[in-house]
Amino acid sequence: KNEVEQSPQNLTAQEGEFITINCSYSVGISALHWLQQHPGGGIVSLFMLSSGKKKHGRLIATINIQEKHSSLHITASHPRDSAVYICAVRSRTSGSRLTFGEGTQLTVNP
Amino acid sequence: DGGITQSPKYLFRKEGQNVTLSCEQNLNHDAMYWYRQDPGQGLRLIYYSQIVNDFQKGDIAEGYSVSREKKESFPLTVTSAQKNPTAFYLCATGEIGNIQYFGAGTRLSVL
């Protein structure tokens, strides 16, 4: 079993829908990251969080440390949100190293 | 123009050949990382460096080598010992314990 599990693996939505991507992890962590990878391959960091909730534009990330679970929400989804969304954790014992989930492929249709 | 520059964008390796992927940054970050991405798998750490003249093996270091002679540069050599080198390679930098910034990647294929 991977240390970081994401669900769903693939997600197709209609423009305007509310989207949720989930991430579960099995180790004690010091931080969790959400990343976005576009078709060309470039990766952008969206959030780093260790507790609570963060919001940036239409994106919201939440984390529940006790349940070892995080969610990434996208409100009013748009075709330009189509990308792979990746969850990564920094465990308390790994220093600066990250462990990555396999990613969720999101496709938003107009 | 600040950021991380990876080159080349595409690279082809012949049997038995060593190839070197370049990663340069002008963000003044201490830590630099090399990841490998294969279809359907999460990114896997090859090597990382937290300070000049020092680096550590990641989870899949076999068949790869690195150097960190300058803060700005962290080249990755894919040696002939790496039997399955075809993959997308990503370099990242960051301050230790903070978010990581990624380059655009190098796609390596075998001829």
Q: What is the DSSP string of chain B?
A: --SEEEE-SEEEE-TT--EEEEEEE-S--SEEEEEEE-TTS--EEEEEEEETTEEEE-TT-TTEEE--SBTTB--EEE-TT-S---EEEEEEEE-TTS--EE---EEEEE-
Per-residue pLDDT of chain B (111 residues; tens, 9 = 90+): 569 999 999 999 888 899 999 999 999 999 999 999 998 888 999 999 999 999 999 999 999 999 999 999 999 999 999 989 999 999 999 988 888 999 999 999 988
What is the maximum alpha-carbon separation in chain A? 44
For residue A41, list chain B residues with Cβ-Cβ distance below 8 A: 88, 90, 104-105, 107
B31 vs A: CB within 8 A: yes
CA distance between the termini of chain B: 34
| Of A60, A63, A61, residue with least CA distance to A51 | A63
**Residue A100: is its pLDDT beyond 90?**
yes
A83 vs B: CB within 8 A: no
Q: What is the pLDDT of residue B40?
A: 82
B104 vs A: CB within 8 A: yes
For residue B99, list chain A residues with Cβ-Cβ distance below 8 A: 33, 45, 48
**pLDDT tens by residue, A27-57:** 999 999 999 999 888 899 999 999 999 999 9
Cross-chain residue pair B42–A90, CB shorter than 8 Å = no
**Residue of A4, A48, A96 with shortest CB distance to B96:** A96
For residue B50, list chain A residues with Cβ-Cβ distance below 8 A: 95-96
Cross-chain residue pair B97–A100, CB shorter than 8 Å = no
Section A86-110 average pLDDT: 92
B9: amino acid identity, one letter: K
Q: What is the pLDDT of residue B2?
A: 62
Cross-chain residue pair B31–A96, CB shorter than 8 Å = yes
Q: What is the pLDDT of residue A1?
A: 64
Q: What is the pLDDT of residue A105?
A: 97
Rg of chain A (C-alpha set): 13
For residue B98, list chain A residues with Cβ-Cβ distance below 8 A: 48
Which residues pair with residue B32 across a beta bridge?
Answer: B49, B93
